[in-house]
Structure 1
Amino acid sequence: MKTPPLHIALVSDTFAPEINGVANALAHLSEGLRQRGHRVDIVRARLPADVAGQEGVDLSPVTGWPWSGFAGLRWSRVSMHKLWRRWRGQRPDVLYIATQGPLGVNALRAARRLGIAVVSGFHTDFAQCAGRYGSGLLARALTCYLRGFHRRTALTLVPSLSQRLELQRRGFERVELLAHGVDAHLFNPARRSRSLREHWGLGPEDLAVLHVGRLAAQHNLDLLGPCLAALQRASPQRRLRLIVVGEGPQRDVLAQRWPDAVFCGGQRGEALAEHYASSDLCLFPSLIDTLGSVVLEAMASGLVVVAFDQAAAAQHIRHGYNGALAMPGDSAGFIEAACWLFEDHESVRRVRLNARHHALQQGWPGVVERFEEYLVQACLAHGAQGALDRAYP
């Protein structure tokens, strides 16, 4: 039976045009739901230079303030009563809360008072970040807080099987998988640009080593230096250059450390796709990423991806078949995996073809359909009023 049109509110501290994995995923999910006939409201932080409303999407910005240490991202703040009044007058059938800051908390409180079904997303594991950097007490407190938050929602959606198992181990309930997708038409090897490579100072036989992501200490960027040195030793006859796409607090420090690297800043759309396709190898040393957007975009672009065997990378990469994996935290293994792949040309060609083939099967339409099923499931379980009651009397 075709799902009736739903009124869905997506609540998040980040959304397009901000550049990060959560904003990218929500943009695809909201647009996909709209194309399937649903009404989608976005409640997110007001940007310093706010954008015009997007066709078919009702942007409902609220005030916000910057995240400490995360320039460009903003905590949103709006009172529970303001949300309650808004949703009492224009009642959604279901909420999807993507972030668990003050906005998410107040949205959850307002929805519970109004009897609206709520599905939550677990996109960033702040407790894991705190634990990895030595703050065990803070990690335990954050885990307790997040567990309590998600326990009050109908479902918690995570992007990888390993994340699901980890949350279940930590006592989270009703955790389901919603893997993220990739636009394999946009991210495509055909976008390889000789002129862009020449701009980078590279010829056809030279090696462009790409890193895409936020330039912050928590993403284990120190590993890039020794990995590049090892790759250069393994291929002394080829010119090698690090191509860095992204912004963050460590940019100036890294630019001083790697004077020969090309820092491209934040890229989006076709420009980002061209940067992927014009590279040869993607190094992804992060130990805290859960979304896997970079991994899938690089694979769709026909790149060899080297990552740690965890989260979304573990879900999408088969070592030696469509990429290379190292055990989490094994820096020497990460470097060895990168060098091993480039021992012969045939290995690189085979891995690239397999990576592209895998990415072709990870399109957003299937992800949106699965997301829709979770929202319907939450509505039915909650006994929500509105479109579903009319469709399923």
Structure 2
Amino acid sequence: MGQTILIATDAAPPQINGVVRTMGIVADHLGTAGHRVETIGPSRFRSIALPSYPEIPLALATSGAMERMAREIGPDHIHIVTEGPVGRAMRRACIRNGWRYTSAYHTRFPEYLRARLPVPVRLTHAILRRFHSKGEATLVPTASIAADLETRGYGNLQVWTRGVDRDLFHPARAIPLDLPRPIFLNVGRVATEKNIEAFLKLDLPGTKLIVGDGPQRAELERRFPEAVFLGAKTGIDLAAHFAGADVFVFPSRTDTFGLVLLEALASGLPVAAYPVPGPADVMAEAGPAAGLCDDDLGRAALGALELGRVDPESVLGSFSWQACADIFLQTLVPAGVKPEPSPASQAAFA
């Protein structure tokens, strides 16, 4: 019998990021398995733009509104995706009513914030640790992220893998890119916390290609005119550019996983990354044929180029969206919500 799962998240379409993609794919898998997924996101509230990051809305969510929505939906399970205004409002509603819930640690927000503002990492972790402390479990992307959070006092951590669409991302998608070879590719948000500048500063042959958009794009285009910026791409167009490059360079030191790493490997690209939690876990699981992690990112990029094309079958065996959805479902707990549907909600959900 299918379950009703309420997901509260600050990250939702039209945002393009790993959190949105992960939760969208998991929701699709749960729906196919017969479960009902109801998402409460920023679109249900008035919002203001995040300062310096206008594409991310800050919802003016309240715990009272969350409680009313939850009672109308009547979920068997509640999962809080993010620690933003929507997530915090849902958490307050759960604690006030004695509802059980799970949460997730998708983003190394303390490090992201420190990259933008002089806020101590320890202080932000204290806030996030308190946020997650009342949940029944906190889902984290990799074992090393879990180990790091445990040393900082977080508890009830559950490692939650990720997957990749092997039908979409495939070496056969490659298109001819009219650029000097070799092509070193980066895909993702063009923002300070992604550390793209470290990639653009490298002395590499051929072309540095950036696919993505974000608040730092205009600045980096001015400073690095020799690099090629194509903006955001999706679907087959994105997959074609992945497969058409030679090496994928991932300069982020703050990502908890990096879905683009799996998409690059599925497209046949070797990967160069820093040996930090998240990317290092992915690369260790994929094996030495997948690329290189090195504190010298230029050396990793040139070493990955020497490795040549990757055989996706040999490096991606353990990564599956089905496994991701299964872990998510198995970690959920009974919420204990007593539904009190209104006539309007009964009609809406009929």
Q: Taking structure 2 as the reference length, what is the TM-score of the superposition?
A: 0.90
- Structure 1 runs not aligned, ≥5 long: 47-60, 233-239, 387-393
Q: Return the match for 1:348 from 308, 311, 315.
A: 308
Distance, in Å, in 2 between the alignment partners of 1:299 and 1:356 is: 9
Aligned to 1:18: 15
For 1:209, the equivalent position in structure 2 comes to: 184
What is the aligned partner in structure 1 of residue 76 from structure 2? 93
Query: Cα gap change, 1:74/1:133 in structure 2, threshold over 3 Å: closer, same or farther?
Result: closer
Query: What residue is the counterpart of 2:3 in the other structure?
Result: 6
Deviations 1:266-315 (CA, angstroms, capped at 9, x unpaired): 11111111111111111111111113211111111110110111223112
- In structure 2, distance between residues paired with 1:75 and 1:86: 19
Q: Which residue of 2 aligns with 1:49?
A: none
**Mind listing any 5+ residue stretches in structure 2 that lack a counterpart?**
340-350
Residue 345 (structure 2) aligns with: none
Between 20-29 and 259-268, the greater mean CA deviation after superposition? 259-268
Deviation at 1:341, TM superposition (A): 3.3
Aligned in 2, Cα 1:172/1:256: closer, same or farther, shift over 3 Å? same
**How far is 1:136 from its partner?**
5.3
Question: Scaled by the length of structure 1, what TM-score is found?
Answer: 0.81
Preserved contact between residue 215 and residue 247 of structure 1 (Cα < 8 Å): yes
Secondary structure at the aligned position of 1:182 is classed as coil
Deviation at residue 45 of structure 1 after TM alignment:
1.1
Which position in structure 2 is the counterpart of 1:302? 268
What is the CA distance between 1:70 and its match in structure 2? Answer: 2.0
Q: 1:6 to 1:114 in 2, by over 3 A?
A: farther
Query: Is 1:178–1:370's contact at 8 Å kept on the other side of the alignment?
Result: yes
* Runs of 4+ deviating beyond 6 Å: 382-386
Contact 1:302–1:356 (CA<8 Å) still a contact in 2? no
Partner of 1:117: helix, strand, or coil? Answer: coil
Alignment match, 1:82: 65
Contact 1:6 1:38 in 2 (8 A): yes
2:346 is aligned to none
What secondary structure does 2:297 align onto?
helix
1:162-204 Cα offsets, whole Å, 9 max, x none, are: 110111110011011001211111111110012xx13xx35xx
| Cross-structure match for 1:257 | 223
CA shift in 2, pair 1:152/1:158, >3 Å: same
CA distance 1:40–1:342, change in 2 (3 Å): closer
Name the CA distance, whole Å, in 2 between partners of 1:162 and 1:260.
Answer: 36
Alignment of 1:178-257 (within 5 A): 178-194=160-176, 197-198=177-178, 201-202=179-180, 206-227=181-202, 229=203, 231-232=204-205, 240-257=206-223
Contact 2:6 2:70 survives alignment (8 Å): no
Separation (CA, whole Å) in 2 of partners of 1:30 and 1:89 = 20
Q: Deviations over 1:123-148 (max 9, x none)?
A: 112223344667354x2322111111
What letter is aligned with 1:281? V
The one of 11, 23, 27 aligned to 2:24: 27
2:343 is aligned to none
1:336 paired to 2:299 = yes
Aligned CA distance change for structure 1 residues 116 and 6 (closer, same or farther; 3 Å): farther
Contact 1:212 1:245 in 2 (8 A): yes
Aligned counterpart in structure 2 of residue 313 of structure 1, from 260, 268, 279: 279
SS at match of 2:94: helix
Q: Determine the C-alpha separation between the residues in 2 that align with 1:283 and 1:342.
A: 10
- Secondary structure of the corresponding residue to residue 41 of structure 2: strand
Residues 300, 360 of structure 1: 8 Å contact kept: no
- Residue in 1 that maps onto 2:258: 292
| Greater C-alpha Rg | 1
The one-letter code sitting in structure 2 at the alignment partner of 1:369 is D
Go from structure 1 to structure 2 and tell me whether the alpha carbon gap of 1:134 and 1:87 turns closer, same or farther (over 3 Å shift).
Answer: closer
Q: Distance in 2 between matches of 1:40 and 1:342?
A: 43
Counterpart CA distance in 2 for 1:313 and 1:356 is 19
Counterpart mapping for 1:312-391 below 5 A: 312-318=278-284, 320-326=288-294, 330=295, 333-343=296-306, 347-349=307-309, 352-353=310-311, 355-375=312-332, 378-379=333-334
Whether contact under 8 Å (2:42, 2:59) holds in the other structure is: yes
Quick one: distance in 2 between partners of 1:159 and 1:303?
A: 22
- Give the C-alpha shift of residue 39 in structure 1: 0.7
Deviation at 1:95, TM superposition (A): 1.1
- Answer whether contact 1:296 1:359 (CA < 8 A) is retained: yes
Superposition map of 1:57-68 within 5 A:
61-68=44-51
Q: What SS does the corresponding residue of 1:73 show, helix, strand or coil?
A: strand
Query: What is the RMSD computed on CA atoms of the aligned residues?
Result: 2.0
**How far has the Cα of 1:13 moved from its partner?**
0.9
Name which of 105, 109, 133 aligns with 2:88. 105
Give CA-to-partner distance per residue, 1:20-48, whole Å, 9 cap, x none: 111111111111111111111111112xx
Opposite residue 34 of structure 1, the aligned amino acid is G
CA drift of 1:384 comes to 6.9
Aligned match for 2:103, one of 117, 120, 131:
120
Q: Take 1:158 and 1:273, find their aligned partners in 2: how far apart are those partners?
A: 26
